[in-house]
Each structure stands twice: as C-alpha cells, then as structure tokens.
Chain A
Amino acid sequence: MSKSTAGKNIENPYHKMIEEVQDYAILMLDKDGNILNWNLGAEKIKGYQEAEIIGKNFRIFYKDEDRANKLPERLIAEATTHGRAMHEGWRVRKNKERFWGSIVITALHNENNEVIGFTKVTRDLTERKLAEEQLKQNTKELEFRNRELEQFVYIASHDLQEPLRKIQVFSGLIEKNLDDKESAARFLERINAAAKRMSILIKDVLQYSKLSKGEGLEVPVDLNTVLKGALEDFDLLIEQRKAVVNFVPLPVIMGIPIQLHQLFTNLLSNAIKFSKENPSIEISTASVSGQEIENAGLSPDKSYVKIIFKDQGIGFDPKYKEDIFKFFKRLQDIEPGTGIGLALCKKIVENHDGHISVISQPNQGTTFHIILPTLFN
C-alpha cells in the first residue's frame, strides 16, 4: 500500500495496518495485563474473536502450570522494570490446542515516564519448534544406530571371526592327518561345533537387528499376562531347579507384546541360570522419581513405572554394570549362551522409550530396574 492511497482511503492508516497484519498477534494491554485491542493476526493465532476477548486478562493464553507459576505476571513485571520482556514457550489456543509462541511485551509510558500499559507481539513458531524437535529426535536415533554399528564392527572383528578361524585351523589339521582316521574324526567334530556356533551367532545378530521400534504396533499390554506367559515357557526349568518366583500385580503399559515377552523371558532365564541352587526371584514395582527420570535421560513429559527383577544368584562385579548390556559380553563361563540376552533386553526397553539398569555384587544377587512409560501419557 503506497502512502498516497492510504492517505486517501483510510482515516487512520496506522491503526488499520496493525489490525490487518495476519502473521503477528499485536495487542495492547492495560497495566494489569487486560486486553484492550485485537488484530487479525491475534484472531488467527489464538482463535478468539475480538468481541469475546476484549477486557479479558492475557493470562488466558497460558498453560495451567505456567499460570500457577505466575509466568504472565513475571513477564509483566519484567517489562515494567526493563521496558521489555521476551519469552518463547507453549501457549494455548481457544480450542485448547497448543502453539509455540515467541512473544515480546513492551511497556508504554506517559509523559511522567509511568507505565500505562503494554504492547504484546506474538508469533506462532509451532512449525519451526516441531521441526527442531524432529531434528533432535532424528539425531538421537542416528547416534543410537551409530553405536549399534560400532558394536557390529566389533562383533565382525571378533566373535564372528573366532569360529571361522577354528574351522580353518582344524581343516588344515585334517589335511595333514588324512591317514589318521581317529584324529580326523576328532577335528571334524570341532569343525562342526564351530560351524554350529557361527550359525547361532548369526541368527542372534539377525534377531537383534530385526527388533525394530514398532511405531504403530504398540497396544495396551497387561504385564501380568506377559509374566504368566514367560513363566509358562520356563515351567519345566522352574520345576527342575526348584525355583521360586514371587511377584506383585503388574501394570498395563503401551507396548509391543512379543518384545515384552522376550524381555521377561530373558530376565527370568538369566535369574534362574545365574543362581546356584533353589533360585529365588522377586518381581515388584515402584514409582519413579523426577531425579531418576533425569538420570536415566528419559523424557520428563511422561510418567513412568519401575519394574524390579531381583534374584539371589551369583551376582557380578559392579564394574561390569554397563558391559553386561553389550553384545556377546559374557562375564561367567558357566553356560554356552551367546551373550546376546541382555543386549536384546536393553534394545527392547529403549524401543519402549524406557531405561534398564542393574545393581549387583558377587554372591549377593542381581537386581534389574526397568523403567517404562505408563499407559496414561
């Protein structure tokens, strides 16, 4: 709009301009924060019509917790003292939807330099905010995949080499001892054992890499049912080892049933495997403090429950408490597992936006803490 046409057609072109700006909510507040005027941008961003909002306090745009924390009052106070207050945060539209607002409140003064009110300019940066959060999420996912890749490199350089090398060595020995049938048969046996181990390792690695984050596959899962199923899988072993499993009622969470079943069976089999006689396993729940959520690096926006698997087994040196969740890390040499069980557990818990940790001492049992988001989030 050129100056000359504006001058001709509109009596107060400046006022009109403000009124018709669509990308910014521009309003005036009295010195208590009550709304004095409204523009098209404010209507678009916040959803209220002029008639219903004039005279209301601008606190109405803030979330309950921000109002409880007196954020609007603090911004007004800051603008009064410093002439200006800036803030970014989630605000509430008329239809209760949230938007990410970037606001500037500027104090208006009379001739005696007394504050008589404020102007408030708000921009809706929801899309930018969501894009930033997506980017953060993607980076986190990428870092996770990268760590996984490093583990795969280690597996390729060590665990998968080992059976192959043995096959090479023993077939070389057979070649040298072709006439000695007895030795040849013994070396062939070793070759078969190595090949079998190789095949189990590859299956395990595939199983691990197939464990994906089941976007859309999550359903409400009753952990009592999951536990019952896992106990049924082991009923023979439990009977043989005279194991006692005590448990409390468990919650219902959002999750992928098959993965949670795998999680419970792995934890149970570990507890039984690493107990000397009459394994005793306690499964209980606990609430999760804000500090624990922060320490575990979990999103503070969700509520969580903790599930505790405690055994009286042989335990291990606490210096290995991170290592045991890595691939093929076997601390005890007492059974022929491939050492993938706890790596699977960790991945399953992380797929569910949770956290797993362990407390242990040699001969004093092992306790796993699994923090998972509750159903109501």
Chain B
Amino acid sequence: MPSPTYLLIDDDADDLEIFGLALQDTRLEYHFVTAGNALEALDLFRDAHFLPAYIFLDLNMPMKTGKEFLTEIKSSEKLRHIPVIIYTTSSHPNDVGETERLGAAHYLVKPSSIDSLTRILVKLFNKQPLPYFLTEEIKDLVM
C-alpha cells in the first residue's frame, strides 16, 4: 500500500515548518503536501489522483477562509469523505461549534510543543477514538 498523503493548508510559514517537524517525529511513512491558502489547495484537487488521507486546515487565511473551504469540500461528492481536521490557534467556542456543524472531523488547537503535536497525530493516524475538540491540555491525549 502506498504511504498516505497529508495535506496542510496554512498561510503561516512557521506553522508549515512546525507541522513538518512533528510529522517527521512520528517516524511513519507519508507524503506531506502544503498549500499556503485555500485557493492553492483547490488547485491541487484539479489533479484527479490527488486524494489525501487527511486535510489539516487553518481557519484564518486571506482570500478564502478555512470555513469557506470546508463548506466547498463537504459539498463535493468526491472529496466529502476526506476527514478534515481544523488546525488553528483559535479556541473560540463559536469556531469550534460552527466547524463541527460544517462537517469537520476534529478541531485541533495548535499545540505549544512539537512533541504534543506528534503524539496527537500518531493517535489520529492509528485511528484511536478521539474527541472532536483536541488540545494538548487534555491529559490523556498527550500521554
């Protein structure tokens, strides 16, 4: 089986790098693809063979917001089954509730250490049962 592709959509260069480092630390096999904004990501999907296993999506981006992108993905017959994980700094309750209604799989608050992010990603990729709202403050997530 070919290794899975993970797509991260984020306009923040630091966060693209941080996420890449956390993925490396999982010691799993994967392809990591990044897009600097939602329009770039939509361009990637023009290639019919591009089907990531997970999409990690920042909310606060110029041009097209994460919520708008999420709505589009969920209305596409072909792409709606790809789990979308919101990946953002905001832990505002409005954003958490709204994205769940829009069909996101999880809401991951950007952690303050690479190790926490790596641990959460490993659990996610191993398909362990996880709550919708994921933060490093939930103890059993980062153990």
Q: Are B14 and A172 in contact (CB under 8 A)?
A: no
Across the interface, which residues of B come within 8 angstroms of A190, CB to CB?
14
Kindly state whether residue A135 has any CB partner on chain B within 8 Å. no
Kindly state whether residue A169 has any CB partner on chain B within 8 Å. yes
Across the interface, which residues of A come within 8 angstroms of B21, CB to CB?
173
Min Cβ gap A11→B in Å is 77
Q: Are A331 and B62 in contact (CB under 8 A)?
A: yes
**Interface residue from B14, B92, B114 paired with A154 (Cβ < 8 Å):** B92
Kindly state whether residue B100 has any CB partner on chain A within 8 Å. no
- For window 176-214 of chain A, which residues contact chain B by CB distance below 8 Å? 176, 190, 194
A158 vs B89: C-alpha distance when bound (angstroms): 6
A162 vs B63: C-alpha distance when bound (angstroms): 20
| Interface of A: prevailing SS | helix
Min Cβ gap B11→A in Å is 6
Contact with B along A314-343 (1 / 0, CB 8 A): 000000000000000011110000000000
Kindly state whether residue A157 has any CB partner on chain B within 8 Å. yes
Kindly state whether residue B60 has any CB partner on chain A within 8 Å. yes
A169 vs B113: C-alpha distance when bound (angstroms): 5
A331-B62, A332-B62, A333-B11 known; A169+B112 contact, CB < 8 A? yes
Kindly state whether residue A49 has any CB partner on chain B within 8 Å. no
A224 vs B19: C-alpha distance when bound (angstroms): 52
A166-B14, A330-B62, A332-B62 known; A172+B90 contact, CB < 8 A? no
| Interface of B: prevailing SS | loop
Across the interface, which residues of B come within 8 angstroms of A331, CB to CB?
62-63
Kindly state whether residue A168 has any CB partner on chain B within 8 Å. yes
Chain B: interface residue total (CB-CB under 8 A) = 19
Across the interface, which residues of A come within 8 angstroms of B106, CB to CB?
none
A66 vs B21: C-alpha distance when bound (angstroms): 76
- For window 1-47 of chain B, which residues contact chain A by CB distance below 8 Å? 11-12, 14, 18, 21, 37
Q: Are A172 and B92 in contact (CB under 8 A)?
A: no
Q: Are A333 and B92 in contact (CB under 8 A)?
A: no
**Interface residue from B37, B62, B63, B114 paired with A169 (Cβ < 8 Å):** B114
Across the interface, which residues of B come within 8 angstroms of A161, CB to CB?
89-90
Q: Are B18 and A169 in contact (CB under 8 A)?
A: yes
Min Cβ gap B35→A in Å is 13
Task: Report how many A-B pairs have Cβ atoms within 8 Å.
Answer: 44
Kindly state whether residue B91 has any CB partner on chain A within 8 Å. yes
Q: Are B114 and A173 in contact (CB under 8 A)?
A: yes
Contact with B along A151-162 (1 / 0, CB 8 A): 000100110011
A157 vs B90: C-alpha distance when bound (angstroms): 6
Contact with A along B63-79 (1 / 0, CB 8 A): 10000000000000000
Q: Are B62 and A157 in contact (CB under 8 A)?
A: no
Q: Are B92 and A158 in contact (CB under 8 A)?
A: yes
A173-B21, A333-B11, A333-B62 known; A168+B92 contact, CB < 8 A? no
Across the interface, which residues of B come within 8 angstroms of A194, CB to CB?
14
Across the interface, which residues of A come within 8 angstroms of B92, CB to CB?
154, 157-158
Min Cβ gap B6→A in Å is 19
Kindly state whether residue A165 has any CB partner on chain B within 8 Å. yes
Q: Are B112 and A168 in contact (CB under 8 A)?
A: yes
Across the interface, which residues of A come within 8 angstroms of B60, CB to CB?
158
A235 vs B73: C-alpha distance when bound (angstroms): 47
A and B contact pairs by CB, cutoff 8 A, 10 listed: A154-B90, A157-B92, A164-B112, A165-B111, A165-B112, A172-B114, A172-B115, A176-B114, A331-B62, A333-B62
List 7 additional A-B contacts (Cβ < 8 Å) besides A172-B114, A190-B14, A331-B62: A165-B89, A165-B110, A166-B18, A168-B112, A169-B18, A172-B113, A333-B63
